[in-house]
Structure 1
Amino acid sequence: MSLTTPTPEPTPDDVARGLAEFERHLAEQVPALPAALPALPVESGGETKRVQRLRAEVAEAHLLADLQDDAAPLLLDTAKVRKRRKQAREAARLHELGQDPAMRAWQAARMRRLLVAAGMVSLTLALAWSTAGVQTFAADGAEAWSPSWVFAWLVEPFMSLALLVVVGARAYLGTRGQPIESPTLVRIEWLFLALTLGMNAWPYLPWSLPEGQTFSFSRLVLHILGPVVAVAIVTALPIILAAFTRLDHGADARSSNPLTGPEYRAKSTADSDPREHSDGPGIDAVTAHVRHLIAAGQLPPYPSAAAIRRAARCAMDTARAVRDALVKEAT
């Protein structure tokens, strides 16, 4: 028989203490939750930063919409527009300068000199091209470096020099407005050209070829090319120069020489145009009339004195004064 001590029954106080210990243990194991969530930052007026950003965006959109209707930025010239306007103004001034009689005369004289120089160079080269053909004809099979063979090279040069003397004289006098219309000189030119052409072509014609050599048309054309070009230059150059002498540059020619421009001199009452008397309209009235013609498109923006004189029917001195006044206003 064993002796045991009976376990006493827990009292209500013991149960309460045990529950309190259990709750304290659980509280130590699990971290405590925050009492409340953090509040969003609130600025003055009760608006958040997000609301303030959206409000600023809406206000900016309203301002942009109001400014977008203003066309002032579209009226400003960009750098590209200013560059184009400058180029257009320069082109207009160059075009106006090109209509001036003095400028047109200078351009014609320069082109005439260029054409004459090119024609003479071409003629010289064409005659030099035919030198070899003429030498073959003149040597007539002579041994190389023999006296006949050497002197054969001089045939074409002295004929070419004689031809260039005639052509050069006609070309020079043609540029001076005094073309030579002499049948004798024309016959001399054609005589030299016919001799050059015949001597170049003769050794290569079918009946002049040695036995065993076949005729070649291309070789014949190649050797007569120089004389043909010389004939073309000699024929065309006087015609071109005569056309230059008949050019009208827009000036009032008062001399028999078409290349001489009008000479300005003070007019007397006896030889002046009746519409150019001193009792005509004053400079201010003529200037106003010329402005009206410019606005109507009947005159260029910067008309010359001759154009003003023809349009306003005034004296040349008045036209020059009006022209200077318009230029001074533009500057």
Structure 2
Amino acid sequence: MATTVIAAFNEFMKDTVNLKKADTDDARASRDWLIGKMNDFEKDDKFPVSFPAIHIAFGSFARRTKIRPLDDIDLMFGLTGQGATYTILSDRITVTSSGEGSRLHSYRHSGADTVCSVRILNAFKNRLQDIAQYAQADIRRNQEAVTLKLVSKDWNFDIVPCFITSEDAFGRTYYLIPDGNGHWKFTDPRKDRDRVTTINVQNNGNVLNVIRAVKYWQRRPTMPSMSSYLLETLILDYYAGRTSCSSFVDMELEALFRHLGQSVRYSVNDPKGIQGDINSLSAEARKAISDRCYLDAQKVSEARWFENNKEYENPSINGAMCSGHSFLFTGES
């Protein structure tokens, strides 16, 4: 058993929080196999033409901020627009087929030339059901994706069909994905991927471990939870202006909790520059999370004091801390 806070956190991260390498390797191989199968869908001359160059993994697994259990893997599957155009309206983006020579023409809204994202999603759902290896899988369409729940694996795949735009006046391209209402919306997982990589590298490669630790921390039933993406954004905002993150996770937590306690109370800009304010928490939830952050910052401070004064056997230290199950990661108040 670990006898110091640092050793306890190291054990905790390895044995409880971080994904096992074998599981990660298996998941990536399973994802690549699935992509290969979906690339063949177009061979029937009806399914939308794939665009492998823009396939992109997204979400916490792709950003390497996923924690146990490995329960979902996100994938955006690229499609060729075949000359389609898009129009930005106040509440949606429409994609218009280029005409009867395009396969997308068969996926239009009734009585219109705009491509229906629901019909595209249903096409993926139907074709996935034809793969023999997925005969027993649960395959469903939700708002923005087709979810493939495997029988033989612990994780689900969330598959999001997408297009990519031509460059705009600023030289920027965007991904277009289903908006849940039959039309489309902008996103750009490349921005998220590059941001987390850049900030992690400039902070000695230690930020990812901190993100994973704090994600685990917020699972406790002692406060409301913010979305994983909002939490990651707040943590990355904190480290964006820094160049040194300790490899010892517990050394980072006090100041980070104080930052979270302050920042969660206010608007949080989408780092992709697409969605605007991504903090949709109620005022009550913001206060509850903020209060918990400040309380746990104080607990970390006390733990560090005991550590610095070598009070390893002091009964005032919660024994769970040094066994790797710190009060910060349980439901204790």
Tell me the TM-score normalized by structure 2. Answer: 0.28
Q: Which has the higher helix share?
A: 1
Q: Which has the higher strand share?
A: 2
Tell me the TM-score normalized by structure 1. Answer: 0.28
Q: Which has the larger radius of gyration?
A: 1
